[in-house]
């Protein structure tokens, strides 16, 4: 038996709206028994009011939210072996803020093209879809590059079960030190 404590890992499921972040995180959390937090729950009241009035958030609006997420990641690492956080993390600067002071943080980029995500959003029952929102999301997205070794890409072309399976595989590989 080893006395060496294994590190606790947090995985941020990132991507544009409609990429399936919450659905994938829910399914992975159920399958693996992980902690799970939807980052949208940590938006300050001012952000919620602004968004509910139909206004987009700017980088200044997001700073306190990203700080709250950074703190949540730190807390999750202290209390859970594996945790999942849903956050779009569209810009590298946002991902850098989440990384700050958080060891064993990894990102899983749920990647899909515009037409695939648009078709899925249009097919959602009871969901109000504004095409301009998706255009804005893709315009804001700074896809992770080779300089972000802690980002792992999962393509969302397969049905949900396949995306969940790929995500679980990435998590297991990271924890085993194979990724």
User: For residue range 71-105, what is the model confidence (pLDDT) as tens digits?
Assistant: 999 999 999 999 999 999 999 999 999 999 988 99
Asked, for residue 144, whether it belongs to a domain, the answer is yes
**Separation of first and last alpha carbons in the chain:** 25
Q: Rounded CA gap, 116 and 43, in Å?
A: 28
Q: Own/partner pairs for 145-153, CB < 8 Å, 24+ apart?
A: 148/92, 148/95, 148/107, 150/99, 150/105, 150/106, 150/107, 151/14, 151/95, 151/106, 151/107, 151/108, 151/109, 152/106, 152/107, 152/108, 152/109, 152/179, 153/108, 153/109, 153/111
- Structure confidence at residue 3 (pLDDT): 44
Residue 133 lies inside a defined structural domain of this protein? yes
Query: Would residue 113 count as lying in a domain?
Result: yes
Domain hosting 166: range is 9-39+66-175
Q: What's the CATH code of the domain at 72?
A: 3.40.50.300
Question: How many domains does one find in the chain?
Answer: 1
Domain annotation covers residue 123 = yes
The pLDDT value given to residue 2: 43
Q: What pTM does this model have?
A: 0.91
Q: Could you say which DSSP state residue 7 is in?
A: P
Closest CA to 138 of 87, 69, 91, 86: 91
Q: Is residue 16 part of a domain?
A: yes
Residue 3 lies in a domain: no
- Residue 50 pLDDT grade (very low, low, confident, very high; cuts 50, 70, 90): confident
Q: Residues 8-20: pLDDT tens digits?
A: 999 999 999 899 9
């Amino acid at each position: 038996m080893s006395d060496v404590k294994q590190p606790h890992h947090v995985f941020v499921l990132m991507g544009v709206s409609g990429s399936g972040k919450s659905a994938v995180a829910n399914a992975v959390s159920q399958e693996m028994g992980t902690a799970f937090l939807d980052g949208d729950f940590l938006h300050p009241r001012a952000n919620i009011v602004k968004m509910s009035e139909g206004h987009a958030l700017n980088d200044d609006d997001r700073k306190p939210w990203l700080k709250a997420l950074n703190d949540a990641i730190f807390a999750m690492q202290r209390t859970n072996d594996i945790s999942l956080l849903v956050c779009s993390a569209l810009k590298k600067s946002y991902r850098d803020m989440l990384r700050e002071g958080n060891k064993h943080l990894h990102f899983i980029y749920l990647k899909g093209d515009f037409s695939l995500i648009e078709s899925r959003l249009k097919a959602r029952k009871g969901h109000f879809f504004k095409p301009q929102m998706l255009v804005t999301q893709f315009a804001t997205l700074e896809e992770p590059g080779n300089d972000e070794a802690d980002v792992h890409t999962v393509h969302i072309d397969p049905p949900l079960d396949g995306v969940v399976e790929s995500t679980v595989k990435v998590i297991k590989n990271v924890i085993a030190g194979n990724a």
